[in-house]
């Protein structure tokens, strides 16, 4: 759970794109980087949600009761 925003610029964006097997044109990188940072910032905010006694998703049983 990072306390500072993740940076997706320069080599970090290049590495993330390579890991995802994506080619990002240099003119699009200026838009993709900030968008990825915003998305990860929203995901990181989920760590602040108090779950209490909520069971983990792996405990979900999708079978219908008869």
* Domain map (residue ranges) of the chain: 1-49
| Residue of higher predicted confidence among 18 and 1 | 18
For residue range 4-63, what is the model confidence (pLDDT) as tens digits? 777 888 888 889 899 999 999 988 988 998 998 999 889 888 888 887 887 777 766 778
What was the pLDDT predicted at 19? 94
- What's the CA gap between 54 and 51, in Å, rounded? 5
Please tell me the predicted confidence (pLDDT) of residue 58. Answer: 74
- Answer whether 0.85 is exceeded by the pTM: no
| pLDDT for res 2 | 55
Residue 49 — left, alpha, or beta (φ > 0 → left; ψ -120 to 50 → alpha)?
A: beta
């Amino acid at each position: 759970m990072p306390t500072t925003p993740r940076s997706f610029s320069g080599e970090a964006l290049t590495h993330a794109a390579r890991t995802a097997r994506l080619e990002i044109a240099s003119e699009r990188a200026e838009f993709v980087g900030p968008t990825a940072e915003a998305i990860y910032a929203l995901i990181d905010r989920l760590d602040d949600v108090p779950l209490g006694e909520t069971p983990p998703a792996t405990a979900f049983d999708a079978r219908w009761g008869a």
